[in-house]
Amino acid sequence: MDGWTEQLAALYDVLSLTSDVVSDLTLVLHRALGRILAVTVTRNGAIHILNEAATQLELVTEIALPPTLVAQWRQLPADQPPFKAALASEHYITLDLAQEPALAGLTGLAGVQTLLSFPIRKGARNLGTLTAVLGHETVDEGEMRLFVSLADQLAIIIENAQLRRRAEQLAVVEERNRLARELHDSVTQSLYSTTLFAEAAQRQARAGHIEMALQHLAEVAETSQQALKEMRLLVHKLRPSVLEKEGLLPALRGRLKAVEGRAGIQHELLAEGELHLSRDLEDTSYYIVQEALNNALKHSRAANVTVEIRQTDHELW
């Protein structure tokens, strides 16, 4: 493979990581850095990411840097040379590693001649830096263009990860708001009804109407039990789902035990053998069953529930 073809292959490899759905950004960037160093014949390198305030550079991953330097580079002020120069321009290059305190740890590495640092930038926004330590002094224009292109791909990886994280945070806020509305619509109303029944029981007791007072107290007990069931349901929803980790059947067993079991409802899950479902179908099936159980819990006052799942070659029921 000639040099140009290998460079194109490296760009493609790093570009393919921009669509990686792995939640661990560090792992994705470590893979990318390894490919970058391999194609640029570079033995040592690092990737830093700017914090949200753009005041600190945080070391995300590195390859073959001395431990003392890793400790020194783990968190750096964004205005620390040479990284400040890289963030403020297209790149930073130095042949005199001893002139910068932040680079002193590189002087002991055999064969080290040149340090390059490039901004990882999306539009006008700096996201971090890509730093490489070269074993030669001369860096040609083609090599510089390759580093710039690779840094641009890293920007896409980092931005995608940040967008996913923001989307997840928004989803959490939306779910909290939904649960707050559900809490108000169900549990709060049940507790308010309980208060009214209790006050009515007091009035009837003072008036000497014991039978009526007992009837209201029975309604207090029933409404309180319903509120308790709904609270357990909300608590279950707040817990991390085991669906993704363990699959549909364990997730349903956990739901039945956590909600129906604690509510004193007899429950049973019937399924023949193992299910072989796609992730989307598994998610859909879980939420359909969950909604049916929620409705039974809230509206039917059922004492027993049975969930039965069957899978054939072409059907799930």
List, for residues 164-174, the tens digit of each pLDDT value: 888 877 877 78
Q: Domain limits at 132?
A: 3-166
Is residue 208, in this structure, part of any structural domain at all?
no
Residue 35 falls inside a structural domain: yes
Spacing of C-alpha 273 from chain mean position: 32
Q: How far is CA 304 from the centre of its chain?
A: 37
Q: What is the CATH number of the domain that holds 96?
A: 3.30.450.40
Q: Which of 146, 166, 186 is the last residue of a domain?
A: 166
**Confidence grade of residue 1 (pLDDT, cut at 50, 70, 90):** very low
In this predicted model, what pLDDT tens digit does every residue of 65-77 receive, in sequence order?
Answer: 888 888 888 998 9
Give the pLDDT confidence of 180-215 residue by residue, as tens digits. Answer: 777 777 777 788 888 888 888 899 889 889 888 899
Long-range contacts of 213-221 (CB under 8 A, 24+ apart): 220/194
Contacts 24+ apart (CB under 8 A), 136-140: 137/95, 137/113, 139/93, 139/114
Give the pLDDT band (50/70/90) at residue 55. Answer: very high
Query: What does the pLDDT average to over 128-137?
Result: 82
Let me know if residue 233 belongs to a domain: no
CATH of the domain at 303: 3.30.565.10
What's the mean pLDDT in 54-65? 92
Please tell me whether the overall predicted TM-score, pTM, comes out greater than 0.85 for this model.
no
Average pLDDT over residues 240-252: 74
Quick check: is 21 in a domain?
yes
Amino acid at 113: Q
Any domain includes 189: no
Give me the mean pLDDT over the 24-28 stretch: 82
Residues 161 and 245 in one domain: no
Asked, for residue 62, whether it belongs to a domain, the answer is yes
Q: How many domains does the chain have?
A: 2
